[in-house]
Amino acid sequence: MKSLIVFIPENFFIKYFVFNICPNCSTDASMPSGKGNRKYELLSSGRVRFRSPVSSKNEIIHLINNFKPASAAIRVLYGGNLFKDVAVYDNSTLSKLEKLIRLSPLDISAVIKLIEVINGISPATEIKLFFETAFFSELPAREQLYALDNNLMKMEIRRFGYNGLTHKAVIEKMRDKNRRAKKIISICLDPVPEVAAIINGKPVMISSGATPVEGIPGDTTCGELDPGIIILIEEKKKLGAETINEIITKKSGLSAIAGKRTSISDIFEDEENNKKASRIFKYKILLSCGSALAAMDGFDAIAFSGKYIDAAPKLASWLISELKRIPVKEFSPQVFYFYERVEEIIADYYTVQNSN
């Protein structure tokens, strides 16, 4: 058995999950965390305030001293074109991470600091970095590029997906269950939701953009927006880019439509009282799925995942009935629900790695 700590930096906190990894255990072995054939066991979880004023260095020191992990895994939101797979941390990794700061300033700076803290306490602990964007690093050029002259911005701008770890795990699980499902629409119902079209394990379309804001409206994010609107807001109200960013990331989305703080989960739980938000959300999902159908020339399955997976059955039922209006002869898509969270996906990775 080896212990693993998975860190998921958010912007205020770092979530942590301490696992025992037991790759050679029999799947009949009883695991306190339940869920049958998992080869890992969750020992502890929580979150520490990391960027916040009260120093959490001590909490991380305590964690590491207490559990003495052989490995530490850090979920990184953005790996850009530099990280196309899981990366073992070494000196070259640091300089690559620093190159990404311009494109993902909040996440990368927290990750670098966390690595510094872990290395300071326990240099022997192997650190691996798991990038959400890695799955989308080879997105076809026609999908990843915007119709912009990149020379103007002096930096490369392209689309990524930001739930790559989940989408990839979904595909692998589905492959186990149904080898014939080649074309999959993967819908991640997170506070910033995402739709991906995946053929034979490779993504060909993604609803997100250069940042997670683009695409489907989220709990508080605006989703797709006519660029002319931002120009108009700046022209008429002279708010400045920072204030407009606050609006489109924290004051928009389903909460703006509903007129109150809400989530995808809340919307589906009480559709009657959230008619407009529900209608708009479903509409955007339908349009995105239509794009996915064109991108893949059909589909075999739809998979749902994410924090708001509880909303998936209702959404799935509506979506399938809408798509069935397309007059296609044989149409019986599989619907798949994926309940694992990112930390479990990472722990799973270690069970496979260690057993090899």
Partner 1 sequence: MNIFVFNCGSSSLKYKMISMPSEKELFGGEVQRIASRTAKPSQIIHEADGGKEIFVESIKNHLEAFSEVMKIVEERGYAKPDIFAHRLVKGSKEIGKDALLDEASFAFLEDLKELAPIHNPPIIEVIKACKEKCPEVPQAIILDTSFHSTIPDYAYTYALPKKLCEELGIRKYGFHGISHQFVSEEAADYLNIPVEKFNAVSCHLGSGGASLCAIKEGKSIDNSMGFSPLQGLVMSTRCGNLDPAVLLKMLAYEEGDFLKVNKILNKKSGVLGLSGISSDIRDIIRAKDNDAKSEITFEIYLWRIKKYLGSYLALLGRVDAIIFTDTIGETVPLVRKLVCSDMDFFGIKLDEMKNRHAESYPCDVSPPESKIRIIVVKTNEELSIAKRAYQLLRHESLLAEKDYRS
Partner 2 sequence: MYTLLKEHAENLRQKASAFTAELVRTPSISYDEKYAARLVEEKMKELGYDKVITDDLGNVFGILYGYENGPTLLLNSHIDTVLPDENAPGWEGSPYSGKIKDGRIYGVGSSDCKSGLAVQIYAAHMLLHRALIPLRGNVIVAATVSEENGLSLGVQHLISKTLADMKIKVDYVILGEPTDLGLFYGHDGWAGFTIGMDSPNPNFLKNAANAVYQNLHNAGKANKINGSEDFMSVHQPEFYNDYQDARILLNRRLYKDEDTGVLIENIKDITLQNVKEKKSINLDIKLREEIQKLANGDSVQVRYLSNAWETSPFSPLMDRARQALSSAKCKTVPGKWRLPRIGMGTAGSILTKRFNIPTIGYGPGDENVVHTAGEYVEIDNMVEGILGTASIIHNLVGIPVFGWTSDLDF
Q: Which residues of the shown chain bind partner 2 in the complex (CB under 8 A)? A: 10-12, 51-54, 77, 98, 101-102, 104-107, 109-110, 113, 162, 190-192, 209-214, 219-221, 238-243, 245-246, 249-250, 307
305 binds, among partner 2, partner 1, none (CB under 5 to 8 A by kind): none
Under rule CB under 8 A, which residues in 254-293 are in contact with partner 1?
A: 254, 256-257, 259, 276, 279-280, 283, 286-293
**CA pair distance 73, 86, nearest whole angstrom:** 10
Q: Should residue 29 be labelled a site residue for partner 1 when binding is judged by CB under 8 A?
A: no
Nearest CA to 64 out of 110, 125, 21 is that of 125
Q: Are 129 and 89 in contact (CB under 8 A)?
A: yes
* Distance from chain centroid for Cα 48: 20
Please state the separation of Cα 350 from the chain's center in Å.
19
Q: Which is nearer to partner 2, 38 or 307 (CB)?
A: 307
**Rounded to an integer, what distance in angstroms lies between the CA atom of residue 32 and that of residue 47?**
21
Site map for partner 1, 175-214, x if CB under 8 A? ------------------------------x---xxx-xx
Q: Answer for the pair 64, 5: CB distance below 8 angstroms, yes or no.
A: yes
Residues 37-76, one symbol each (x = binds partner 1 by CB under 8 A, - = not), give ----------------------------------------
Q: Does residue 153 interact with partner 1 by CB under 8 A?
A: yes
Nearer to partner 2, 47 or 182 (CB): 47
Q: Beta strands 71-76 and 2-9: pairing type?
A: parallel
Q: Which does 246 bind (CB under 5 to 8 A by kind): partner 1, partner 2, none?
A: partner 2
User: What does each C-alpha distance from 1 to 28, 210, 268, 344, 350 come to in angstroms?
Assistant: 16, 40, 41, 16, 11
